[in-house]
Amino acid sequence: MKSRGQESFVSLPGFAARLYNNLTQTRAIERQHQEIARDLVSRIEHGRLLDIGTGPGKLLFEVHQLNSSIELFGLDISEAMVQLARKNLTGINVNIQCGDVRHTNYVDDFFDIVTCTGSFYLWDNPEKCLEEVFRIMKKDRSAYLYETYQDFNDSQVREALKTNLAGESLVRRLVTPIFLMRQLRMTYRTSEIVDIIKRTSFAGSYTIGQISLGGFPAWLRIQLTKCA
Ligand SMILES: C[S@@+](CC[C@H](N)C(=O)[O-])C[C@H]1O[C@@H](n2cnc3c(N)ncnc32)[C@H](O)[C@@H]1O
């Protein structure tokens, strides 16, 4: 079976991880992570939070800024990203592991909250991955996946991109839209996400809503609750 893209991250060279880190250092993406972090800390005061596909660890950094008593965990399939996250989070007490969400080594019912941003669309066998998320979450708790989606409103997104990149360097204004539109084309349609969830243990307990993050109107917030 063809990989959805996670395979390219497994062997990602260090320079490519640093390039990703650099390209995503825009004010708009920083705002996206800050808005997601605010959303998450409004849902738990303490306990264990796992960020799957944490990449350079920017979401974990923002969560820590808002509430330093939340215990932070990050997981990523790319060793280069893991190295980068550890560097970006120097001085913060955080547990970052390299691994595939499809089979982790966390014990059952371990996390109070699980999240991921822009990673779900890359997972091979997403149903199996969601079953693993179900296993490692505590009962009656939720996972919040923030994902861009393919059936976005094209003109709204292009307009938002122009505004968001207005103050950025010429390189970012040229490269970011290419990188972003390519990534959006790889994501799922909303109906495909619903079909995947319906094939998992979260089938009876999920909500999906369209949201704007960092002024970018192409995001879904997917809430998956582990019902007892
Ligand atoms: C587009 S990046 C997003 C990074 C970060 N969440 C952010 O918002 O900047 C996707 C990340 O998901 C990771 N990833 C892809 N498939 C994965 C899997 N099966 N298990 C764990 N991490 C995975 C990749 O290595 C990559 O770092």
- Please tell me the distance from the alpha carbon of residue 8 to that of residue 129, in angstroms, as a whole number: 18
Q: Rounded to the nearest 5 degrees, what angle is found at the Cα of 192, between the Cα atoms of 190 and 196?
A: 120
What CATH number has the domain spanning 6-225?
A: 3.40.50.150
CA atoms within 13 A on the CB side of 140: 1
Can you give the pLDDT at residue 142? 98
Q: 37-91: per-residue pLDDT in tens?
A: 999 999 999 999 999 999 999 999 999 999 999 999 999 999 999 999 999 999 9
**Among the atoms of ligand 1, which is closest to the Cα of residue 17?**
27
Q: 146-185: per-residue pLDDT in tens?
A: 999 999 888 998 888 888 888 888 888 888 888 888 889 8
Transcribe the chain into DSSP letters.
----SHHHHHT--HHHHHHHHHHT-SHHHHHHHHHHHHHHHTT-SSEEEEEET-TT-HHHHHHHHH-TTEEEEEEES-HHHHHHHHHHTTTS-EEEEE--TTS--PPTT-BSEEEEES-GGG-SSHHHHHHHHHHHBPTT-EEEEEEE-TT--HHHHHHHHHHHHTTS-HHHHHHHHHHHHHHHHHS--HHHHHHHHHTSTTTTSEEEEEEEETTEEEEEEEEEE---
Mutate to test the pocket of ligand 1, among 25, 119, 127, 180 (most ligand atoms within 8 A of CB): 119
The predicted model scores a pTM of 0.95
Protein residue with least CA distance to atom 20, ligand 1: 100
Average pLDDT over residues 18-37: 90
Protein residue with least CA distance to atom 27, ligand 1: 55
Length of the chain (residues):
228
Q: Which residue has the higher pLDDT, 5 or 46?
A: 46
* Cβ of 52 below 6 Å from ligand 1: yes
Q: Find where tokens 């995503």 sit.
A: 24
Average pLDDT over residues 115-138: 97
